[in-house]
Amino acid sequence: MGITLSYLIAYFVGLIDPFMPAAATGLVVDNQLHQVRFLLAFVMVTVGTTALSFDWRVEEIFVISAWVQAYFVVTAMVRQWRSGADEALLPSIAMLSILLTIFSLLITLIIEERKRKTDL
């Protein structure tokens, strides 16, 4: 958690270059959108870790995380395809596969959590 927090602080202060949004278009709005996405991802990881640690309402948190991940998949791919060139298709497919893998893992966790609740 400390490493993630350090990265978050360094990123928003400006010590770390925004490579990902700059690689897409180089526009300021892409950098701002990337910051919002990163902040949402950090909040998801923090809330999810806290919920797992204290055995809170884990299923609801996984469902919310899955919806936010679906938002990441749709908006990132639309933005990349809209602003990228044809040679940027391979990185787009790689990014989509990573995001869809995370999404499928979240769905699997939701299903397993529901099974665990019904077994109790």
pLDDT tens digits for range 44-98 = 777 777 877 787 777 777 777 777 777 777 777 777 776 666 666 676 677 778 7
- Please give the single-letter amino acid code of residue 91: P
If one counts every other C-beta atom within 10 angstroms of the C-beta of residue 114, the result is 12
Instruction: Indicate the SS3 state at residue 120.
Output: coil
Residue 102: its pLDDT value, please?
79
